[in-house]
């Protein structure tokens, strides 16, 4: 089954404790991206990648890192999480100008 | 910088009505525009993708149009049903592959 898989789905952590949210797709898509969704602010793109070893900043990259070492994986790294990074995070993938497929979302709370 | 606006922010109509949701964007240099629905607490489901070279796409009771020159897209829902109640989002992929989102239209279909 074609899918985008994010883990963990739910996470509560504390300020400063490094964490990684994984994202994996099985559709051989070149394009992968991360978004955060906040009430009143809607969806905002954090980072995106057009292919292996190619990443670009979206609207809100501060406090986040990504890497694209393999085509199927695009992890989101929070080196030192802060409470303002409490949010609902989505990963998505597509062929470069094609339909975007989303993961189920990861709800992160930083205390 | 690309800006995407969705009007109205919320809409409540009786079941059976045909309705139109609007999405406007400021920069016509786009690769594509995609419409999604999001149910409360859930992920995003792709509805229709329109490439920049296309004028419209149809899927069942849904029809999306794209007018690049005027920076507008509409999502037409025919014979609305209570199950159509959700938030509808449009997203524009620009020439730099960055994805910009509208704030969404919250649709309620009353039985």
SS3 for B17-67 is: CCEEEEEEECCCCEEEEEEEEECCCCCEEEEEEEECCCCEEEECCEEEEEE
pLDDT score for A40: 84
- Band (B40; pLDDT cuts 50, 70, 90): confident
Read off the pLDDT of residues A43-66 as tens digits, 9 standing for 90 and up: 999 999 999 999 999 999 999 999
Average of per-residue pLDDT across B83-105: 92
Residues A83/A109, Cβ–Cβ less than 8 Å: no
Quick check: B50 contacting A, CB < 8 Å? no
Give whichever of A36-40, B23-27, B38-42 has the largest mean pLDDT: B23-27
**Contact state of A100 with B34 under an 8 Å Cβ cutoff:** yes
Q: Which of B36, B44, B91 has the highest number of chain A CBs within 10 A, making it the mutation to test binding with A?
A: B44
Closest chain A residue to the Cα of B39, Cα to Cα: A104
Quote the tokens at residue B96.
């730099």
- Calculate what percentage of chain A has a pLDDT beyond 70: 100
Count of Cβ atoms closer than 10 Å to residue B1 Cβ:
8
Across the interface, of B51, B99, B102, the residue whose CB is closest to A45 is B99
Nearest chain B CA: its distance from A110 CA (Å): 19
- Band (B98; pLDDT cuts 50, 70, 90): confident
pLDDT score for B73: 98
Instruction: Name all contacts of B45-51 with Cβ < 8 Å and 24+ positions apart.
Output: B45/A102, B46/A99, B46/A100, B46/A101, B46/A102, B47/B75, B47/B88, B48/B75, B49/A98, B49/A99, B49/A100, B51/A97
pLDDT score for A41: 86
pLDDT score for A106: 97
| pLDDT exceeds 80 at position A97 | no
Residues A79/A68, Cβ–Cβ less than 8 Å: no
The per-residue pLDDT of chain B, averaged, comes to 94
Read off the pLDDT of residues B48-93 as tens digits, 9 standing for 90 and up: 999 999 999 999 999 999 999 999 999 999 999 999 999 999 999 9
């Amino acid at each position: 089954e074609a899918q985008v898989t994010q883990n963990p789905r739910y996470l509560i952590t504390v300020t400063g404790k490094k964490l990684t949210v994984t994202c994996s797709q099985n559709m051989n898509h070149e394009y992968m991206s991360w978004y955060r969704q906040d009430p009143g602010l809607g969806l905002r793109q954090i980072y995106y990648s057009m292919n292996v070893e190619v990443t670009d900043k979206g609207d809100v990259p501060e406090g986040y890192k990504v890497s694209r070492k393999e085509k199927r994986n695009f992890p989101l790294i929070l080196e030192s999480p802060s409470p303002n990074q409490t949010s609902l995070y989505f990963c998505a993938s597509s062929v470069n100008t094609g339909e975007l497929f989303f993961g189920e979302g990861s709800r992160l709370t930083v205390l | 910088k690309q800006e995407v606006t969705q009007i109205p922010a919320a809409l409540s109509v009786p079941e059976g009505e045909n309705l139109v949701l609007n999405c406007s964007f400021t920069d016509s240099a786009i690769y594509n525009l995609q419409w999604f629905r999001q149910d409360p607490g859930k992920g995003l489901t792709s509805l229709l993708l329109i490439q920049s070279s296309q004028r419209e796409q149809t899927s069942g009771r849904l029809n999306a149009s794209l007018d690049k020159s005027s920076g507008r897209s509409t999502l037409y829902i025919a014979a609305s049903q209570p199950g159509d109640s959700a938030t509808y989002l449009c997203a524009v992929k620009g020439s730099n592959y960055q994805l910009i989102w509208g704030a969404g239209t919250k649709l309620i279909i009353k039985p």
